A = this chain, B = another copy of it.
Amino acid sequence: MSKIKLGIVGYGNLGKGAIEAIKQTQDMELVAVFTRRDPQHLHLDDQNVKVAHISEASDYKNDIDVMLLCGGSATDLPEQTPYFASMFNTVDSFDTHAKIPEFYKSVNEVATKNNTTAIISVGWDPGLFSINRVMADAIIPNGENYTFWGKGLSQGHSDAVRRVTGVKNGVQYTIPSEDAIENVRSGENPELSTAEKHNRVCYVVAEEGADQAAIEHEIKTMPNYFAEYNTEVNFISEEELKRDHSKAPHGGFVIRGGNTGAGHKQIYEFSLKLDSNPEFTSSVLVAYARAAYRLNNEKQFGAKTVYDVAPGYISPRSPEELRRDYL
């Protein structure tokens, strides 16, 4: 069987994760990584991977089945997805929730016109969490969805901590409130604000001689970021920070509590506990590359989301095997 040929655009954490994820498959192979940097000076962990400049991508039109777009949502993807979707099937992880309809429209136009298939907003949220919110809502109409994030390292909140006077370095974890989760799991369908659903825990390295009490107070009272939350501040050494807090864990929960018939409680729950957020996200992108390839073979052109992709399309296994061994 010939393999599905993939390209990767962007050599950040997501692109690196995608290289590893492709290696774990039997049915896909990596053709090249495309970068905006000078390919000569890009040092790859794996020397066997071919690197090319992003401007050369169009030369690969006949050699790549699906392009994995591993750039960021703020500035990269709004430009890159329409550009690459004019030449390739694509999968991206666009996650600026509020701009998804507009993004979908621009990608759909290009992909429809060029007979390509572009699956947008793939990953775990948006992505797997989105699927579960919709399926739970469809199956238990009389109920309530809850999404909890964490335990996860939050880049934005870590940055906020590091901007505080006297802070040398630091990280922030968003942690779902155990009480809130238990409350939701009990089927009570409580009203919960984001702050009630999550706690914030900071690990801070203070500058020598800095006033730790002042730092703690400034963090805990910072509006929008921390003031509304139950926030914990821990002071640690630079060594401890490096040793214990250099990974990028994340995860979370989608829970729907609802009722059927004469008031029987039904609790639907999906959760992820990830040691590496970017590696997991890129693993989802790689699995959905199969779907982009297959949908395109079926002439299902245009922009798609995870809602348009049947589960069997992301699996390397045949329909017969799935029915026999997994159903």
Contacts and interface: CB of A to CB of B under 8 A. Distances in A.
A307 B274 CA distance: 25
B309 A130 contact: no
A192 interface: no
Interface in A289-308: 290, 305-308
Nearest to A132: B270
Contact of A261 (B17, B140, B314): B17
A291 to B, nearest CB: 9
Interface string A22-37: 0011100000000000
A166 to B, nearest CB: 33
B279 A274 contact: no
A243 interface: no
Contacts of A323: 100-101, 104, 305, 307
Contacts of A275: 264-266
A293 B297 CA distance: 24
Given A185-B273, A261-B20, A327-B121, A312 B307 contact: yes
A280 interface: yes
Interface in A88-136: 97, 100-101, 104, 121, 126, 128, 130-135
Contacts of A73: none
A279 B264 contact: yes
Interface of A: 16-17, 20-21, 24-26, 97, 100-101, 104, 121, 126, 128, 130-135, 137-142, 185, 247, 251, 260-262, 264-276, 279-280, 283-284, 287, 290, 305-312, 314-317, 319-320, 322-324, 326-327
16 contacts: A16-B261, A21-B260, A134-B326, A135-B314, A137-B326, A139-B284, A185-B273, A266-B279, A266-B283, A268-B272, A270-B271, A305-B323, A305-B327, A307-B310, A307-B312, A308-B319
